[in-house]
Structure 1
Amino acid sequence: MNQTTPVGNVYLVGAGPGDPGLMTLKGKGLLECADVVVYDALVSPAILAMINPQAEQINAGKRRGRHSKAQDETTQLLIEKAQDHAIVVRLKGGDPFVFGRGGEEMADLRAAGIAVEVIPGITAGIAAPAYAGIPVTHRGVSCSVTFVTGHEAAGKYCPQVNWRAIAQSSETIVVYMGIHNLPTITHELQAGGLSPDTPIALIRWGTRPEQAELIATLATIQAAVEQSGFEAPAVAVIGSVVNLQAQLL
Structure 2
Amino acid sequence: MNQNPQRVAILTGGSGGIGRASAVRLAADGTAVVVHYAGNRDLAEKTVHSITIDGGLAIAAGGDIADESAMEVVFDAARKEFGGVDVLVHTAGIMPLAPVAEMDLETFDRIQRTNVRGTFVVNQLAARRVRSGGAIINFSTSVTRLQLPGYGAYAASKAAIEGMSLILARELRGKDITVNAIAPGPTATPLFFEGKSPETIKQISGLNPMERLGTPQDIAETVAFLAGPGRWVNGQVLHVNGGAA
Do both proteins adopt the same fold according to a TM-score greater than 0.5, normalized to the shorter chain? no
Q: Structure 2-normalised TM-score?
A: 0.36
Q: Structure 1-normalised TM-score?
A: 0.36
Larger Rg: 1
Considering fraction of residues, name the structure with more helix: 2
Considering fraction of residues, name the structure with more strand: 1
